[in-house]
Amino acid sequence: METRRLSGLRVGIFGKGGAGKSTLTVFLARALRGAGYSVLVLDADSTNVGLARALGIEEPPEPLLEHYGGMIFSGGRVTCPVDDPTPLPGAEIALADLAPRYVAESPEGVRLLVAGKLGSLGPGAGCDGPIAKIARDLRVTDIGPADVMLVDYKAGFEDSARGALTSLDWVVAVVDPTTAAVQMAVHLARMVEAIRGGVPPATRHLESPELAALAVRLFRESRVRGAAAVLNRVASPETGRYLRDALGRGNVPVLGSLEEDPQIQGQWLRGERVVSGRLLQAARSVVRELEVADRRLRAAAREGEEEVPSGVGP
């Protein structure tokens, strides 16, 4: 197999509630698979359900939270990254070593892991910080020869504030036609720029100087390269132009656009495999644009530029 430009990358999918993160994750995973990549999706949304069915997987895998012994609030070992920046023990795993119940595979060969779901833990489960920690630290060693890992995060900013961005190569914000979605994309791009610029994280809440030093080191060693946006539910060219202009003013490049597709909502509602030829074609374009953007960042790094914009895109 020829070398794929995105091989080895971790791409995080972020967005406000209802923006379409999981929809983009589904079609991006299929587009990557069709382009010759080995694709692993990590469902790191602690509250939303349905991603497995949308991928064409009848039964979702058991959560990795169980594999790691449960969350600290329930007597387990997985702590919250805000309170405890230490790495998750055993975070580097091989799919071949996981019990089969923790891994599922779609008809296209996209494999799925689930970090954890709060709903299944019952009352008193505590916050979902431990789930974010699994998403931040998990490293899978045997995805395939041209591996890409997509991480579908929960809605909002909370996971990014927990240091999730530091373990990613690319941050992709899903932007639907709302001001809130545009603002979130701009905020994420600025956070990436700050991390790349060496701005340290807040550590006053950490009583131990050793933990504070570790938190700073994790940010300094961050692998994040860039941030970009993908438009979703674009019903008209005018809407697309408006969103692109608004994101451009915030220095957020746009990798592509997914049009409004009425059949998608019904498929999600009925828990069916989510399919759309138009959206799959749009996702293929997003993959190509991400390859171009990543190539440009790599070239800039090789040339030794001191400052590389947080989202150099096409």
How far apart, in whole angstroms, are the C-alpha atoms of residue 25 and residue 40? 11
Nearest to 174 by CA among 281, 5, 27: 27
Task: For CA atoms 4, 6, 7, 13, give the dihedral sign.
Answer: negative
Nearest to 52 by CA among 136, 6, 110: 110
The pLDDT of residue 313 is: 42
Please determine, for residue 4, whether its predicted confidence score (pLDDT) is greater than 80.
no
How far apart, in whole angstroms, are the C-alpha atoms of residue 251 and residue 245? 10
The pLDDT of residue 30 is: 98
The pLDDT of residue 311 is: 45
Please determine, for residue 310, whether its predicted confidence score (pLDDT) is greater than 90.
no
* Sequence-ordered list of residues with C-beta below 8 angstroms from that of 13, at least 6 positions apart, any chain: 21, 24, 25, 28, 150, 151, 152, 153, 172, 174
> Among the listed ranges 130-134, 198-202, 239-243, which one has the minimum average pLDDT value?
198-202
Q: Let me know: does 234 contact 23? Beta carbons within 8 Å.
A: no
The pLDDT of residue 304 is: 67
- Distances 104 to 43, 49, 71, 178, 215 between C-alpha atoms, Å: 12, 15, 23, 34, 33
Average pLDDT of the residues in 49-63: 95
The pTM of the full predicted model, rounded to 2 decimals, is 0.91
Three-state secondary-structure class, residue 6? coil
Given the DSSP bridges, would you call strands 170-175 and 226-234 parallel, antiparallel or unpaired? parallel
> Among the listed ranges 145-154, 180-189, 289-298, 303-312, which one has the minimum average pLDDT value?
303-312
| Complete domains list, the chain, with CATH | 9-292 (3.40.50.300)
Please determine, for residue 1, whether its predicted confidence score (pLDDT) is greater than 60.
no
Please determine, for residue 293, whether its predicted confidence score (pLDDT) is greater than 80.
yes
Please determine, for residue 305, whether its predicted confidence score (pLDDT) is greater than 70.
no
3 confidence band (pLDDT: 50, 70, 90): low
Please determine, for residue 113, whether its predicted confidence score (pLDDT) is greater than 60.
yes
The pLDDT of residue 119 is: 63
Q: Phi then psi for 93, rounded to 5 degrees?
A: -135, 165
The pLDDT of residue 124 is: 44
The pLDDT of residue 142 is: 93
Please determine, for residue 209, whether its predicted confidence score (pLDDT) is greater than 50.
yes
Residue type, 23: T
Structure tokens that stand for 70 in this block: 């449960």
* pLDDT mean across residues, the chain: 89
The pLDDT of residue 161 is: 66
- Distances 66 to 140, 157, 245 between C-alpha atoms, Å: 17, 25, 44
Which tens digit of pLDDT belongs to each residue from 118-155?
A: 865 544 455 788 999 999 999 999 998 899 999 999 98
Structure tokens that stand for 74 in this block: 């329930």
How far apart, in whole angstroms, are the C-alpha atoms of residue 189 and residue 170? 10
**Overall residue count recorded for the chain in this entry:** 314
How far apart, in whole angstroms, are the C-alpha atoms of residue 18 and residue 174? 10
Residues of the chain with pLDDT > 70, as a percent, come to 92
Average pLDDT of the residues in 212-221: 88
Burial 283-302 (b: 16+ CB within 10 A, else e): bbebbbbbeebbebbeeeee
157 confidence band (pLDDT: 50, 70, 90): confident
The pLDDT of residue 120 is: 57
Q: Phi then psi for 108, rounded to 5 degrees?
A: -85, -5
Three-state secondary-structure class, residue 229? strand
